[in-house]
Amino acid sequence: MRIVIVGAGAVGSHLAERLSAERQDIVVVESDQARAAELQAELDVLVVVGNGASPTTLQEAEVERADLLIAVTSSDATNVLAAHAAGRLGVERRIARVEDPQLFEEAEELGVDLLIDPTEAVANQLVRSIKSGGIGEAIDFADGRLRLFGGFIAPGAPAAHLTLSRLRLMVKGWSWVVVAVIRETETLIARGATELLPGDHVLIMAEEGKATEAFGIFGWQEEPFNKVIILGTTRLAIRTASLLCHEDISTTLIDQDMDRVRRVAMSEPRVIAVHGDPTDPKVLSSEGAEHSDAVLALTGWDEINILGCLVAKAMGARKTVARFHRFDLVKILPGVGIDSGVSARLAAANEILRFVRGGSIHSVVTFRDSAAEAIELTVEATSPVVGRTFSEVHLPHEMIVGGIIRGDDVFVPIGESTFEAGDRLIVIALPEAFPELEKLSG
């Protein structure tokens, strides 16, 4: 597939890297010459320097040959114009990142196939995480009947220093399973010989309501959250605060811009809006950070978010979450005491990857500190695995099936489980295993 990506920022470069690794024909259009040269040196893609909203630049990128255009610059207007220009040049499928609600209707009238609002996606993700208590990730599949949980193994947890084979002896039944272990920069797809260490980021797949045993084994707490402090007055901060208040969770928002604090106080009366430096220990202490269930640092600056989380954590905050723009910062977050990170750009990339792959793939989830993806796909009747057991099908070591949705039933598979036509599989895979997904789906 030939794909033209307009914008080589965090989203565009991330997509270019992922899709080029899958051997797609990628062309990137970037207006900043230095950034364009940087990307050209990093990836095996064609980079065209110019304004992606200009028909002349798009013609230089040979957009008329493209199967898909993805416009993900930091400017909503540029993205909408790029999609419009590409449509006039004959590109039938177009995706645009648009955060301004007022531009959504205009973009829809232009026939854009997929509009991405990453802020809304991340706000909902944060609320789900808060409602799940102290768990790092909580991702729903099959309307929540299968859930993917993630968190770090606590020091002294029963699972620490056990291999997965030994861990299985502690588990009652097969209602949950470890699917991946992320250790610093390495992702290990779960195997019996994999040893679990304190501080490992572990992903587990569990049937609905059956993960409590796993939480205890890994030292995770699932107590409800009642008090949340949000740092910043960005659109993400305000939207998240509003959603939390609707869930009857006490929410305080702190920012040093008095005008923005006043506007929040007027527009969101249930949110406690406080004027102050979000990194000042005195300000955080006055708002009860040491007794808060979570501090969400959602300003527009990575450095402030990281510092705010570190201060809150040192004061005793139960959970800290930092918004980040730079993907290279994500890898250091757990090591410095920050529990989790969120990225609107990563959320946008997830939705776009699902659309690009299409066909039998229903959803795609990428992780902030790993190249692995959780992919929901359907096994077609033409798949060579239909009718065979898991033990008979030798999946690549870079891939594992964590769950199966079969009609009204959901379950975690074992070796004797069979693949059936119509099954929806939750597959966790590293990039090198992506070509095998087509064989699974048929």
345-402 pLDDT, tens per residue? 778 877 888 788 766 777 778 776 677 889 898 999 999 999 999 999 888 889 999 9
Which helix (H) or strand (E) element contains residue 33? helix 33-42
> Same domain, yes or no, for 269 and 317?
yes
Domain total of the chain: 4
What does the mean pLDDT of the chain come to? 88
What per-residue confidence (pLDDT) applies to 328?
65
Q: What is the mean pLDDT of residues 65-74?
A: 94
Which of 200, 218, 236 corresponds to the end of one domain?
218
> Same domain, yes or no, for 294 and 394?
no
The DSSP code for 317 is -
Residue 136 lies in a domain: no
The DSSP code for 101 is H
- The residues, any chain, with a CB within 8 Å of residue 23's CB and separated by 6 or more, are none
User: How far, in Å, CA of 347 to CA of 354, rounded?
Assistant: 11
Residue 50 lies in a domain: yes
Which of 218, 244, 270 corresponds to the end of one domain?
218
> Same domain, yes or no, for 318 and 424?
no
Which helix (H) or strand (E) element contains residue 375? strand 370-378
> Same domain, yes or no, for 111 and 19?
yes
Residue 134 lies in a domain: no
Q: Is the pLDDT of residue 236 over 90?
A: yes
Q: What is the mean pLDDT of residues 191-201?
A: 91
Residue 133 lies in a domain: no
Residue 135 lies in a domain: no
Which of 346, 377, 405 corresponds to the end of one domain?
346
Tell which residue, 136, 222, 125, 217, has the closest CA to residue 177.
217
CATH for 82:
3.40.50.720
> Same domain, yes or no, for 211 and 267?
no
Span of 57-71, 166-180, 310-324, 394-408 with lowest mean pLDDT: 166-180
Strands 409-411 and 361-367, bridge-based pairing: unpaired
370 forms beta bridges with 367
Residue 422 lies in a domain: yes
The domain containing residue 81 runs over which residues? Answer: 2-116
User: How far, in Å, CA of 126 to CA of 236, rounded?
Assistant: 10
CATH for 210:
3.30.70.1450
> Same domain, yes or no, for 274 and 178?
no
What per-residue confidence (pLDDT) applies to 239?
95
Percent above pLDDT 90 for the chain: 55
User: How far, in Å, CA of 311 to CA of 279, rounded?
Assistant: 7
Measure the CA angle with vertex 89, ends 350 and 19; round to 5°: 25
Residue 208 lies in a domain: yes
Structure-block tokens of residue 370: 């790993």
User: How far, in Å, CA of 58 to CA of 53, rounded?
Assistant: 8
Segment 265-299, tens digit of pLDDT: 999 999 999 999 999 999 999 999 999 999 999 99
> Same domain, yes or no, for 363 and 400?
yes
Q: DSSP states of 25-69 as a string?
A: EEEEEES-HHHHHHHHHHSSSEEEES-TT-HHHHHHTTGGG-SEE
> Same domain, yes or no, for 237 and 302?
yes
Segment 353-369, tens digit of pLDDT: 878 876 677 777 877 66
> Same domain, yes or no, for 372 and 431?
yes
What per-residue confidence (pLDDT) applies to 381?
92
Structure-block tokens of residue 153: 């193994």
Q: How far is CA 301 from CA 69, 197, 279, 304, 373, in A?
A: 29, 32, 12, 5, 27
What per-residue confidence (pLDDT) applies to 339?
78
Residue 48 lies in a domain: yes
> Same domain, yes or no, for 341 and 395?
no
Q: Is the pLDDT of residue 334 over 60?
A: no
Confidence of residue 38 (pLDDT cuts 50, 70, 90): very high
Strands (DSSP E) along 239-304, which ranges?
250-255, 272-275, 294-297
> Same domain, yes or no, for 106 and 87?
yes
**pTM of the predicted protein model:** 0.74
Measure the CA angle with vertex 146, ends 167 and 418; round to 5°: 75
404 forms beta bridges with 411, 425
> Same domain, yes or no, for 35 and 66?
yes
